Structure 1
Amino acid sequence: MARLGVNIDHVATLRQARGGTEPDPLAAAVLVELAGADGLVVHLREDRRHIQDKDLQLLREIARTKLDLEMAADEAMAKLALSVKPDLVTLVPEKRQELTTEGGLDVAGQRDRMQSIITMLHDGGIPVSVFIEPDLNQVKAAHKISADFVELHTGRYANATRSKEADAEFEAITQAAKLAYKLGIGVNAGHGLNYRNVKRLTHIPEIVEYNIGHSIIARAVLVGLTQAVKEMKALLS
């Protein structure tokens, strides 16, 4: 069964909206793990709009599953990651005004910079994933810079409104996953996945982990966080 990483950024977003202490993303992390999630995912953004440095430090102390730190590919963030020691760093593109991550990294066009950051993290004993489009050239570039994992951006698949479009995106994800596996790279997937569209992707055996946040937290408002995580886990079985 594929693993489930739950992104708890949206819990911190709700907290930051009032500038208080509730809801506490650490409490959410505990519930997520108790409900059977295989990992915690947090994106520490440059503007600190949701997850804060203190959150990350405390999560490192309490996490009993895998802690995946999403971050921009820059030296300052790499140094912070080296001090915290997450179980995985996922390098993602980041724009200041975006509501959520828009598309994958252009690894092929930024090989030297990406290689430098990955080398820093590897020297500190931290494995690295790169968040990319399901594009064969990007997968090959990820292999050349020694990425341990790729996380395939599933946004276009998730947002497809026509069956032909969804089929084409599913095929692109399938082929990218197959190539990554062939090259010895672990395959994760995420972005826009929900309780309606994730099941189809489980037919791609090369994908070993799904990182999902918004739909789980949205579902939790209605049924509770424990139930929301269990329902998603059941879909991945």
Structure 2
Amino acid sequence: MTRLSVNINKIATLRNSRGGNNPNVVKVALDCERFGAQGITVHPRPDERHIRYQDVLDLKEVVTTEFNIEGNPDDRFIKLVTRVRPEQVTLVPDAVDAVTSNAGWDTVSHREYLRHLVSRFRDLGIRVSIFVDPDLRMVEGAKEVGTDRIELYTEPYAAHYAANREAAIAPYIQAANLAGELGLGLNAGHDLSLENLQYFQRNIPNLLEVSIGHALISDALYFGLENTIQLYLRELDSNRE
């Protein structure tokens, strides 16, 4: 079964909009685990507009499932990951002013930079995943830099799912097949939802993990957090007809 990692950035956004500590990010993370999530993802950005760097330190003390820290590896991010040593770090090429992630790495032109980072984190015992588009050259490039996994950027799939889901998923199947041939682990994330998740999971071979935040937290406003997590886990159940 593909693992579900819940991205709790939106919880921090809500907290920060009012000040104080309501909702409590740490409590929500623990609740997500209690309700069945198999991982917690955070994406700290330099302006700390949602997850704060202190949140990451606090979460490291209590998260018992897989802790995944994703983000652009600037100096502060690297120092944070080095200190926390999560189970997984996901490298994302965010611009400083990006509203959300909007592209994967060019693993060819950034080969030496990524190779250095991957080696540094792996030496600390941290599994490394690189955020990439479903482009075969980028998947091959990720293999060359020594990463453990790639995370496929799924926004284009989600955007075109309703119009033609077969065409939308086609490049992802090709990328996943190549990743498998190269011995790369496979994650996916961005705009996956209750609408499009099951079709993606059932058609992408060897999908180890999905990271879902915005859609899941939005659904929780209607269905409640516990029920929502169970709904997402149900979509990921490959035995479900």
* Same-fold status (TM-score > 0.5): yes
2:128 — aligned with what?
128
1:119 — aligned with what?
119
1:178 — aligned with what?
177
Give deviations 1:111-170, integer Å, cap 9, x for gaps. Answer: 111111111111211110001001110100000000101000110010116634x32230
TM-score, normalised with respect to structure 2: 0.94
Q: What do you get for the CA RMSD once the two structures are aligned?
A: 1.2
1:167 — aligned with what?
166
- Equivalent position amino acid for 2:222 in 1: L
Query: Is the 8 Å Cα contact of residues 3 and 210 (structure 2) preserved in structure 1?
Result: yes
The answer as to 2:225 corresponding to 1:225 is yes
In 2, the alpha carbon distance for the partners of 1:151 and 1:55 equals 23
Worse-matched range after superposition: 147-156 or 203-212: 203-212
1:20 — aligned with what?
20
SS at match of 2:187: strand
1:190 — aligned with what?
189
Shift of 1:45: 0.9
Judged with a 3 Å threshold, the aligned counterparts in structure 2 of structure 1 residues 161 and 140 are, in CA distance, closer, same or farther, namely closer
Give deviations 1:87-111, integer Å, cap 9, x for gaps. Answer: 0000001123222111111112211
1:74 — aligned with what?
74
Query: Is the 8 Å Cα contact of residues 161 and 168 (structure 2) preserved in structure 1?
Result: no
Listed as ranges, the matches of 1:16-95 within 5 Å are 16-95=16-95
- Equivalent position amino acid for 1:120 in 2: R
In 2, the alpha carbon distance for the partners of 1:50 and 1:57 equals 14
Shift of 1:54: 1.4
In 2, the alpha carbon distance for the partners of 1:161 and 1:182 equals 26
SS at match of 1:62: coil
* Identical amino acids, percent of aligned pairs: 37
Shift of 1:73: 2.5
Query: Is the 8 Å Cα contact of residues 78 and 120 (structure 1) preserved in structure 2?
Result: no
Aligned residue pair count: 236
Worse-matched range after superposition: 32-41 or 109-118: 109-118
Give deviations 1:189-216, integer Å, cap 9, x for gaps. Answer: 1100110011101222321111111111
Judged with a 3 Å threshold, the aligned counterparts in structure 2 of structure 1 residues 209 and 47 are, in CA distance, closer, same or farther, namely same
1:142 — aligned with what?
142
Query: Is the 8 Å Cα contact of residues 85 and 126 (structure 1) preserved in structure 2?
Result: yes
SS at match of 1:163: coil
- Equivalent position amino acid for 1:52 in 2: R
In 2, the alpha carbon distance for the partners of 1:21 and 1:70 equals 23
Give deviations 1:36-90, integer Å, cap 9, x for gaps. Answer: 1110000011111111111101111101100000021234322221111110000
Unaligned runs of 5+ in 2: none
SS at match of 1:5: strand
In 2, the alpha carbon distance for the partners of 1:42 and 1:89 equals 10
- Equivalent position amino acid for 2:183 in 1: G
In 1, the alpha carbon distance for the partners of 2:195 and 2:77 equals 35
- Equivalent position amino acid for 1:103 in 2: A
